[in-house]
């Protein structure tokens, strides 16, 4: 479903051009749970913006469901985001003084569905994200950090996206709450078959995924999937 081919990104808004991504290549299948890991400044968010159709690469190609997203206009990118992608950010971006249910319904406001249907989908997403029903009518500023992040996950699910992208989703949470949120992603992947890309600089967070892609200074330096293949290959040689 995802193919990143020779992707490069050069920022030209600073005093000198800055190469944030260099010749990045990987594929991700439907139903995978992948972590993209690297130190601060390695290009993780830049890569996520490209994967999430928030930005386009300066070189290379990005295919999402066989469509080349890398050269689309801003309007076409917005359509891709609305139809195919759910975002979960570190800063939760919920509307304050607005109920949980309304926050989750928000991405559907441009979808051509009745209010009743929007409510139904929002409730289903909240259940899938693991928020207890008693909180659905609470205001978002009355919730704990972990509950807020579950609402953010529910909001990312409500448009039934092909891909869920999470950028440091546990960055503002204590370890225990972070574990619960990561468990929610695992459940969404295992029980609901969602494709998840989780961006993090922490090893303990990345380990919740089934595959880890490491980037450093804008380059892909290791992919646990290809590593696994090499190990299998070696074993064959040994026999
Ligand atoms: N919009 C931008 N304009 C110029 N430089 C940027 C921009 N966004 C990120 N960068 C630079 O690109 C590098 C990678 O940034 P980023 O993708 O945010 O890394 P990470 O998410 O891994 O911390 C950093 O050196 C950062 O300063
Ligand atoms: Mg970042």
Ligand 1 atom showing the smallest separation from residue 40 Cα: 23
The domains located in the chain, with CATH, are 2-238 (3.40.50.300)
pLDDT digits (tens, 9 = 90+) for 120-173: 999 999 998 999 999 999 999 999 988 999 999 999 999 989 899 999 999 888
As beta bridge partners, residue 149 has: none
> By alpha-carbon position, which residue is closest to atom 9 of ligand 1?
46
Residue of minimum CA distance from atom 16 in ligand 1: 43
The bridge status of strand 211-216 relative to strand 163-167 is: unpaired
pTM of the model: 0.89
Q: Is the pLDDT of residue 179 over 60?
A: yes
pLDDT at residue 228 in the model: 56
- Range with the largest mean pLDDT of 92-106, 107-121, 201-215: 201-215
- Residues with C-beta atoms within 5 A of ion ligand 2: 44-45
Q: What is the mean pLDDT of residues 62-81?
A: 93
Supply angle C-alpha 71, 76, 78, rounded to 5.
120
User: Phi and psi (nearest 5°) for 58?
Assistant: -85, -20
Question: Any idea which ligand is nearest the CA of 42?
Answer: 1
Distances (CA, A) of 18 to 15, 198, 221, 232: 9, 25, 19, 38
Cα(119) to centroid of ligand 2, in Å? 33
Between 177 and 215, where is the model more confident? 215
Burial 194-226 (b: 16+ CB within 10 A, else e): bbbbbbbbeeebbebbbbbbbbeebebeebbbe
The stretch 202-222 carries a mean pLDDT of: 96
Residues with Cβ within 6 A of ligand 1?
A: 11, 13-14, 18, 20, 38, 40-46
């Amino acid at each position: 479903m995802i193919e990143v081919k020779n992707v490069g990104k050069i920022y030209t808004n600073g005093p000198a051009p800055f190469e944030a991504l260099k010749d990045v290549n990987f594929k991700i299948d439907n139903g995978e749970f992948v972590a993209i890991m690297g130190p601060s400044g390695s290009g993780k968010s830049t890569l996520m913006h490209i994967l999430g159709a928030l930005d386009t690469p300066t070189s290379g190609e990005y295919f999402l469901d066989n469509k080349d997203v890398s050269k689309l206009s801003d309007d076409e990118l917005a359509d891709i985001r609305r139809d195919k992608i759910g975002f979960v950010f570190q800063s939760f971006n919920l509307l304050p003084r607005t109920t949980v249910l309304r926050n989750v319904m928000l991405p559907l406001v441009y979808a051509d569905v009745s209010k009743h249907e929007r409510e139904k989908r929002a409730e289903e997403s909240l259940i899938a994200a693991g928020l207890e029903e008693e909180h659905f009518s609470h205001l978002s500023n009355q919730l704990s950090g972990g509950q807020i992040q579950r609402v953010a996950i529910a909001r990312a699910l409500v448009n039934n996206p092909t891909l869920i992208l999470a950028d440091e989703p546990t960055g503002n949470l204590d370890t225990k709450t972070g574990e619960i949120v990561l468990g929610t992603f695992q459940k969404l992947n295992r029980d609901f078959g969602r494709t998840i890309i989780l961006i993090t600089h922490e090893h303990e967070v990345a380990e919740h995924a089934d595959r880890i892609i490491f980037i450093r200074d804008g380059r892909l330096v290791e992919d646990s999937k290809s590593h696994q293949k090499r190990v299998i290959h070696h074993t064959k040689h040994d026999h």
